[in-house]
Chain A
Amino acid sequence: MPVLIARRLDEALDELAAHPDTTVLAGGTDLMVELNFGRARPARVLAVDRIDELRQSAGGSRVRLGAAVTYARLLRDGAGSRALEEAARTVGSPQIRGAGTVGGNLGTCSPAGDTLPVLAALDAVVVLRSARGERRVPFAEFMTGPKRSVRRSDELIVAAEWDDAGPAQTFVKVGTRNAMVIAVASLAMVIDRARRRVGIALGSCGPTILRAPDAERFVRVLCDEAGWDRPLRLSEAERTELGRLVSAAARPIDDVRGTSAYRRHVLGVIAGRALARLGAA
């Protein structure tokens, strides 16, 4: 199995163009599991974790996060999104956070990928590049199913980009233990007070990351009424209604980690809590 360790982006893109059967390797925390269980037998491997351009990030009002930035780096240097940092903190263990990358999370595109609800709620754009050029795909269009995306085999994920949404954002994950856990359900909520935008996205609750548009609309109305730059005090009835709307947006299944009924219920609870916390801030 030939392995190319790329140092430059163009070199990597040429390799992908020449060999469409190449498997990209970043931190390997998903790929090596696939290899270990015999579910993947790559013909060729291209390692992208040493390509400088993929390791660079930029802050400011438009945030750009390189695909090969590890969770550990992102937590040390800041991610330009508080919710993304919260999500990164829940990923795996220190070892996994030291190797795993956001690009890998996007590459795997699991409905349980912890950064994905955040990228969805931020309305992030996934930047894809091939030797033929660059495509910028909104996250909602990027993920098409469980472990399926619009990425073509000659494309690399180079970065994710989004508008800085301010401090009112959070990520909540429910699992069956306190660390090293695949989410039973997760939720990202972003209240961008400056842009008057609300994003609510759900993980582990359907074939893709799901947005909860009715719940987003409901929160927008609440913010309109309260004033976007004012604290939002949530009544019990409003909290319940938000929970109902979020639960209704989910399309969960029954599996060993939990039943669909429990997932719906718990999503409603964590949505209410998230809004109570963000609104008060």
Chain B
Amino acid sequence: MTDVLRTPERRVEGREKVTGTARYAADAAREGMLHAAFAGSPYPHARVLAVDTAAARAVPGVRAVLTGADVRPARFGRRLLDWPVLAWDRVRFIGDRVAAVAADTPEAAERAAALVDVTYEELPAVFDMDAALAPGAPLIHPDAADYRMLGVTRPPVPHPNAQGHQVHEHGDPAAGFAAAARVFEHELALPPVHHAYLEPRAALVWIDGATVHVVTTNKAPFSLRAQLAAVAGVAEDAIVVHTPHVGGDFGGKGLSLDEWPLYFLARVTGRPVRSVLRYADELQISNTRHGARIRLRTGVDRDGRITAHEARVRFDGGAYAAGKPIPFLMPGEAMATLAGYRVPAARVEATCAYTNHLPAGHDRAPGQPQNSFAAESHLDLIARELGVDPLELRERNAIRAGDVDVHGDEWHASEMPRVLAELRRASGWGRPLPPGHGRGVALGARHVGRGKTSLELTLDERGDVVVRSGVTDQGGGALTMIGRVVARELAIAPERVRVEQVDTARSPVDPGVGGSRVTMVHGNAALDGARKLAAARDAGAAPPIRVVGSADQTAHMFGSYAYAVEVELDRETGAFRVVDATLVADVGTVINPVAVRGQLEGGFAFGLGQALMEELAIVGGRVVTASFGEYKIPSIADVPPLRLVLLTDAPGPGPFGAKSVGELANPAVVGAVANAVADAGARVLTLPISAEKVLAALRGGAA
């Protein structure tokens, strides 16, 4: 039979989704279900002096009204439990919840929530990350010493308003700067942005005897189970988490918000309680990509080769660190300021600050778009100063096998030079441009996913296979991928493999979707299971044959990519259009050809939004872009055709040599666009690159 991987995949959940029969968390319902609504703070920072719930309780249909006093001392978080389920003594951002209502109808719950009467005493608020980290800044978490950290002890921080802090140094930066022919320094800034997935968070919680059931949009059900066990003080095996289809995630759905108060409401009422977050609340209280201010200083020799690099990275973590799963409580790639380049000596310092903004969390390649925008703009400015073609400068500095990167790690292999050579060819780099046009380049690199999981496979009499996994599918095609890996290994048609996503009671522990992990980890577990099935079958075992496939993916490897983007600029208005784009991506073996293209094209559009228009604008702590009318993401009219070149011959550690693509290619779009606009005449140092900023830059003002 022909190779399964050569045929474009059919999504296993595709029919359900396009016919509207797919069920999401917001569709879950149970007999006797109540509806929840919440009262949030109107102040960015205030003491809670009193909460009067009498009027709320009097609303017909209201079954329970809980306040901070009822849940104290429950705090939640993915790693650091610093976010009170309901605030009892202090609110830290506009929207921070102080009360939760369960009622017979959503309308009654909303009405009651609006009647919760809270007496506040305003406290000085701090919105700027540098101000928050200054000596004498108002403290946002005076009780931080009491907070629990899941699994690890909290690394020390240099300031009580720091969520996380890291310093890295390798080589001899002082000597490298001394040896440099030129030293350049630039500062760039990015606002927080939102993932803008279609499906808002939703959850349904009920308690059945000793068992707590949760239907959720959380894409990492086992992590939610562990967090809920910690928050509620119940055993993990007394909690069952069901995640149906997830309607988009991009990293945001790793943090649960409503599940915690719903648990307490379900406990006091004895009824199932559901909530569906309004999108306005998604934009006002959920975890965003971190806003950042990044200062880079780089020394280069006469040929533009990097001799030393220094970076100071500041992230706005908002009011809580709860959205961050990694122990350093920073965006994952906080330190990757020159990703994909040879950096012989570096000192990188990154700090994530508490502020009275809405909490930041994980968003597709956390930390990378920020650092990529800064680094790619910085290098482009250096190229222009040196009079070196920007692509040429990148070719000279691209990391090669045997070089060390910005983390001081040596790369044993690098596709980066090949990626750039291919980009030069495929984009027609150097071809003369029409007047008013500009062309920009940016490269990027991302580590492939790591982690471990297991899944169960059963081969029946007919030779068909059922795979049961605890992994969720947030739209990336995880279940389809698993089926195709098994089908290919067993040389059967993909339709003969059924992949079932099961709840936490019926699946081995699973790390969930995230960190570009699924194809690397779940794909390898599926491959392992398929090999075991084949071995047992060949050894004459009688069906049904049941095996557990496992994987522990620890390989250290990167995927590389680069963009060339062309813009057309209107010098009178500052408006510009991206008219052409080329992406060369080193993706290894392709398992889901349609999904790989979808992830890369989607990542391009995603990055384009951040470059062109996305900004969660916050004024005095209030999000003023709290609907998709104001918070703009690209429409199809804003996205040009993307010329996509895949390098598939450098195998990765995934099944059959696959690499990760989900978070590979969104980060560098911002730099490529900024550099193209600069080539057309306007260097803009903050995102998004609005027409207004471009016009200011064209007129020589600050942008």
Q: Are B280 and A37 in contact (CB-based, < 8 A)?
A: yes
Q: Are B692 and A259 in contact (CB-based, < 8 A)?
A: yes
Taking the closest CB of chain A, its distance from the CB of B265, in whole angstroms, is 22
Q: Which residues of A contact B229 (CB under 8 A)?
A: none
Task: Tell me whether A177 and B637 are in contact in the complex, defined as CB-CB below 8 angstroms, given that A256-B624, A256-B630, A269-B573 are known contacts.
Answer: yes
The 8 A CB mask of A165-184 against B (1 = contact, 0 = none) is 00000000010111111100
Does chain A have a CB within 8 A of B42?
Answer: no
Does chain B have a CB within 8 A of A266?
Answer: yes
Does chain A have a CB within 8 A of B638?
Answer: yes
Task: Tell me whether A262 and B625 are in contact in the complex, defined as CB-CB below 8 angstroms, given that A178-B635, A269-B572 are known contacts.
Answer: no
Task: Tell me whether A176 and B613 are in contact in the complex, defined as CB-CB below 8 angstroms, given that A181-B632, A259-B692, A262-B695 are known contacts.
Answer: yes
Question: Which residues of B in the span 618-653 have a Cβ within 8 Å of any Cβ on A?
Answer: 624-625, 627, 629-630, 632, 634-638
Nearest first, the 6 closest Cβ-Cβ pairs linking A and B are: A178-B637, A179-B635, A179-B637, A262-B692, A269-B572, A178-B638
Question: Which residues of B in the span 273-311 have a Cβ within 8 Å of any Cβ on A?
Answer: 280
Does chain A have a CB within 8 A of B612?
Answer: yes
Q: Are A182 and B629 in contact (CB-based, < 8 A)?
A: yes
Q: Which residues of A contact B692 (CB under 8 A)?
A: 258-259, 262
- On B, residues with C-beta under 8 Å from A are 110, 280, 572-573, 575, 577, 612-613, 617, 624-625, 627, 629-630, 632, 634-638, 690-692, 695
Taking the closest CB of chain B, its distance from the CB of A156, in whole angstroms, is 27
Most chain A beta carbons < 10 A, residue from B110, B632, B634, B690: B632
Task: Tell me whether A177 and B638 are in contact in the complex, defined as CB-CB below 8 angstroms, given that A256-B617, A266-B573, A269-B572 are known contacts.
Answer: yes
Q: Are B634 and A256 in contact (CB-based, < 8 A)?
A: no
Q: Are B612 and A177 in contact (CB-based, < 8 A)?
A: yes
Q: Are A177 and B280 in contact (CB-based, < 8 A)?
A: no
Cα distance A177–B576 in the bound complex, in angstroms:
10
Q: Which residues of B contact A148 (CB under 8 A)?
A: none
Does chain B have a CB within 8 A of A265?
Answer: yes
Q: Which residues of A contact B573 (CB under 8 A)?
A: 174, 265-266, 269-270
Question: Which residues of A in the span 233-266 have a Cβ within 8 Å of any Cβ on B?
Answer: 256-259, 262, 265-266
B690's nearest neighbour on chain A, judged by CB, is: A176
- On A, residues with C-beta under 8 Å from B are 33, 37-38, 93, 174, 176-182, 256-259, 262, 265-266, 269-270
**Prevailing SS type, chain A contact patch:** loop
Q: Which residues of A contact B636 (CB under 8 A)?
A: 179
Q: Which residues of A contact B575 (CB under 8 A)?
A: 174
Q: Which of B617, B627, B635 contacts A177 (CB 8 A)?
A: B635
Q: Which residues of B contact A259 (CB under 8 A)?
A: 692
Q: Which residues of B contact A178 (CB under 8 A)?
A: 577, 635, 637-638
Q: Are A180 and B695 in contact (CB-based, < 8 A)?
A: no
Q: Which residues of B contact A180 (CB under 8 A)?
A: 635
5 contacts between A and B (CB under 8 A): A174-B573, A176-B690, A256-B617, A258-B692, A262-B692
Q: Which residues of B contact A269 (CB under 8 A)?
A: 572-573
Q: Which residues of A contact B637 (CB under 8 A)?
A: 177-179
Cα distance A270–B630 in the bound complex, in angstroms:
23
Q: Which residues of A contact B635 (CB under 8 A)?
A: 93, 177-180
Cα distance A178–B612 in the bound complex, in angstroms:
11
Q: Which residues of A contact B613 (CB under 8 A)?
A: 176-177
Taking the closest CB of chain B, its distance from the CB of A187, in whole angstroms, is 12
Cα distance A38–B613 in the bound complex, in angstroms:
27
Cα distance A141–B667 in the bound complex, in angstroms:
51
**Prevailing SS type, chain B contact patch:** loop
B629's nearest neighbour on chain A, judged by CB, is: A182
Cα distance A179–B637 in the bound complex, in angstroms:
6
Apart from the given pairs A38-B110, A177-B638, A178-B637, 6 other A-B contacts in the complex at a CB distance below 8 Å: A93-B635, A177-B634, A177-B637, A259-B692, A269-B572, A270-B573
Cα distance A179–B634 in the bound complex, in angstroms:
9
Cα distance A269–B692 in the bound complex, in angstroms:
13
Q: Which residues of A contact B691 (CB under 8 A)?
A: 174, 176, 262, 266
A269's nearest neighbour on chain B, judged by CB, is: B572
Taking the closest CB of chain A, its distance from the CB of B114, in whole angstroms, is 9
Q: Which residues of A contact B690 (CB under 8 A)?
A: 176, 258
Taking the closest CB of chain B, its distance from the CB of A134, in whole angstroms, is 35
Q: Which of A38, A179, A181, A265 contacts B695 (CB 8 A)?
A: A265
Q: Which residues of B contact A266 (CB under 8 A)?
A: 573, 691
Cα distance A266–B691 in the bound complex, in angstroms:
10
Q: Which residues of A contact B632 (CB under 8 A)?
A: 176-177, 181
B280's nearest neighbour on chain A, judged by CB, is: A37
A257's nearest neighbour on chain B, judged by CB, is: B630
Taking the closest CB of chain B, its distance from the CB of A201, in whole angstroms, is 19
Q: Which residues of A contact B638 (CB under 8 A)?
A: 177-179
A265's nearest neighbour on chain B, judged by CB, is: B695
Taking the closest CB of chain A, its distance from the CB of B139, in whole angstroms, is 31
B635's nearest neighbour on chain A, judged by CB, is: A179
Q: Which residues of B contact A177 (CB under 8 A)?
A: 612-613, 632, 634-635, 637-638
A38's nearest neighbour on chain B, judged by CB, is: B110
Most chain A beta carbons < 10 A, residue from B575, B624, B627: B575
Q: Which residues of B contact A270 (CB under 8 A)?
A: 573
Q: Which residues of B contact A256 (CB under 8 A)?
A: 617, 624-625, 630
A178's nearest neighbour on chain B, judged by CB, is: B637
Cα distance A269–B570 in the bound complex, in angstroms:
11
Q: Which residues of B contact A37 (CB under 8 A)?
A: 280, 627
B633's nearest neighbour on chain A, judged by CB, is: A177
Cα distance A180–B577 in the bound complex, in angstroms:
16
B637's nearest neighbour on chain A, judged by CB, is: A178
Taking the closest CB of chain B, its distance from the CB of A147, in whole angstroms, is 15
B639's nearest neighbour on chain A, judged by CB, is: A178
Taking the closest CB of chain A, its distance from the CB of B341, in whole angstroms, is 33
Most chain A beta carbons < 10 A, residue from B572, B577, B695: B572
Most chain B beta carbons < 10 A, residue from A37, A182, A258, A266: A266
Cα distance A131–B280 in the bound complex, in angstroms:
41
B279's nearest neighbour on chain A, judged by CB, is: A36
Q: Which residues of B contact A179 (CB under 8 A)?
A: 635-638
Cα distance A270–B692 in the bound complex, in angstroms:
15
B693's nearest neighbour on chain A, judged by CB, is: A262
Cα distance A265–B573 in the bound complex, in angstroms:
8
Taking the closest CB of chain B, its distance from the CB of A176, in whole angstroms, is 5
